[in-house]
C-alpha cells in the first residue's frame, strides 16, 4: 500500500459528523457545526495546494533537463518549445614569461585560426554556463523567467536568455 499518498487525505464533513455525539446530531446543530467546519475545509484546501506545490518543487533539480521542464511547465505547457542548451566554452589561452622559453603565439580573429586571444570586452558574450532558448513568437515576462531559472539552478551559475527562430 502507498501510505504516503493517503496520509493527508481528510474528509472534514465526515470527521465533524463523527465528533458530534449521536444524541446531539440534530439538523440545526449539524448545520451550525458545518458552518464552523467550512473554515477548516478552506485551510485544509490551502494546505493541500501548498503540499502539491512543494512536492513539484522537490522534483525539479538543477540539471538542465529539469530546468527546461520547469520552464516549459510555466511558460509553454502545450507546445514545449523552450530549450536549455550548454553555453559555449572557450578555454583560456596560456601566457608564458620570457624566461620560461615557451612560444607565445597570439592570433587575431581576422587571421582565422583556432587559437584566438580575446579581449575582455569580447569575452563577456561567452560568460554563460547555459543558454535558455525561447522561440521568437512566444510572449513571456523575462523577469519572471529569470526568477524561475534562478529558483532552480545552482548558485553561481550564469545563464542567458536567447530568442531563436
**Closest-CA residue to 161 (of 85, 77, 90, 91):** 85
Q: Using an 8 Å Cβ cutoff, are 161 and 142 in contact?
A: yes
| Predicted confidence band of residue 22 (pLDDT cuts 50, 70, 90) | very high
* pLDDT tens sequence across 80-129: 999 999 987 666 666 665 667 776 666 556 766 666 566 655 665 567 88
Neighbour order of strands in the sheet with 159-164: 83-86, 130-135, 159-164
HSE of 155 in the Cβ direction (CA atoms, 13 Å)?
Answer: 0
Mean pLDDT of 42-48: 96
Amino acid at each position: 500500500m502507498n501510505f504516503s499518498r493517503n496520509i493527508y487525505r481528510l474528509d472534514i464533513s465526515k470527521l465533524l459528523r463523527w465528533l458530534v455525539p449521536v444524541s446531539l446530531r440534530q439538523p440545526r446543530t449539524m448545520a451550525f457545526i458545518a458552518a464552523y467546519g467550512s473554515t477548516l475545509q478552506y485551510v485544509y484546501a490551502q494546505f493541500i495546494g501548498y503540499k502539491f506545490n512543494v512536492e513539484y518543487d522537490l522534483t525539479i533539480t538543477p540539471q538542465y533537463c529539469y530546468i527546461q521542464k520547469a520552464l516549459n511547465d510555466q511558460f509553454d505547457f502545450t507546445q514545449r518549445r523552450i530549450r536549455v542548451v550548454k553555453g559555449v566554452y572557450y578555454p583560456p589561452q596560456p601566457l608564458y614569461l620570457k624566461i620560461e622559453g615557451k612560444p607565445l603565439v597570439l592570433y587575431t580573429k581576422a587571421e582565422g585560426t583556432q587559437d584566438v586571444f580575446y579581449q575582455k570586452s569580447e569575452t563577456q558574450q561567452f560568460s554563460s554556463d547555459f543558454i535558455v532558448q525561447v522561440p521568437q513568437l512566444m510572449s513571456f515576462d523575462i523577469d519572471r523567467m529569470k526568477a524561475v531559472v534562478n529558483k532552480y539552478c545552482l548558485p553561481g551559475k550564469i545563464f542567458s536568455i536567447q530568442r531563436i527562430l
